[in-house]
A = this chain, B = another copy of it.
Amino acid sequence: MGSMMEFANPQDNVWKRENRKLLINTPIFDLVTHDVTPTSKAFTKPFYVLEAKPWVNTIAITPEKNILLIRQYRHGLHEYCLELPGGIVDDTGDDATLLSAKRELVEETGYTSNNWKFIGKVSGNPAVFNNYSYTYLALDATKTQDTSWDEAEEIEEILVPEDKIIDLLRNGNIHHSMMVASLSLYLIHEKF
C-alpha cells in the first residue's frame, strides 16, 4: 500500500447497473433507481441516485481584497446560510460552467469581473448525486449592475476581508460542505 499509483483512482470493474427508472422529477434533481450488481457479488438490487445538473460557485475578490459572500435562506436546513454566490449550470457548451458562474454572480449580486480563473471541482455527494460543483475565482470584482433575483431569492451581500476567511471556516460560520471545499481548494491552490 501507499504507492502514488494507487491514488490514480482506477475505474476497472465498476459495478453493473441497468434499468434506470425515473421516480420523481423536481426543479433541482431527478430521483431515479437502477438495478445494481456489485462486481464480486451474486445479487442485484435497486439503488437510488439523484441526477442533477452541475453546480457552480465563485470566489469573487474585490480590488480592496474582500471576498464577496452571500447569506440566503436554505430550504434543507431551514436556516440562513453564509455561502459563495453560485447556482445551477443552465448554460451549455464547452464554457458552460464558466458562463453559469458569471451569470449567477451578476444575477445574485450585481458584481462582474474581467479576470476569471478555474480553481477546481468537487463531487456534490458521490454516494447519491451524479454531479460536480465547479469553483471559479473572479479577481478585481466590482458591482457594476443591478441584481436580478429569481422569484424565490432574497440575497444579502457580505464582504469579508480575505484574511478572515480561514476564521470563518475554522469557526463554522461557513459550513456548507461545498463552500468549505471550494474555499479550502482556493487556499490550497493559491495560498499554501
Contacts and interface: CB of A to CB of B under 8 A. Distances in A.
Interface of A: 1-2, 6-11, 14-15, 17, 23-24, 26-29, 31, 34, 36, 38-41, 43, 45, 47-50, 66, 71, 73-82, 120-130, 132-133, 151-152, 154, 157-161, 166, 168-173, 175-178, 180-181, 184-185, 187-189, 192
Contact of A75 (B128, B154, B180, B192): B128
Given A48-B26, A158-B1, A169-B185, A176 B125 contact: yes
Contact of A2 (B48, B71, B161, B171): B161
A154 to B, nearest CB: 6
B31 A31 contact: yes
B24 A49 contact: no
Given A38-B73, A178-B181, 6 more contacts: A7-B171, A14-B80, A17-B78, A28-B48, A28-B128, A169-B185
Given A6-B158, A192-B192, A75 B127 contact: yes
A176 B1 CA distance: 22
22 contacts: A2-B66, A6-B158, A7-B158, A14-B79, A15-B78, A23-B24, A27-B48, A38-B73, A38-B152, A48-B75, A75-B128, A76-B125, A81-B123, A120-B172, A121-B172, A123-B175, A123-B177, A125-B125, A125-B178, A177-B177, A178-B181, A180-B180
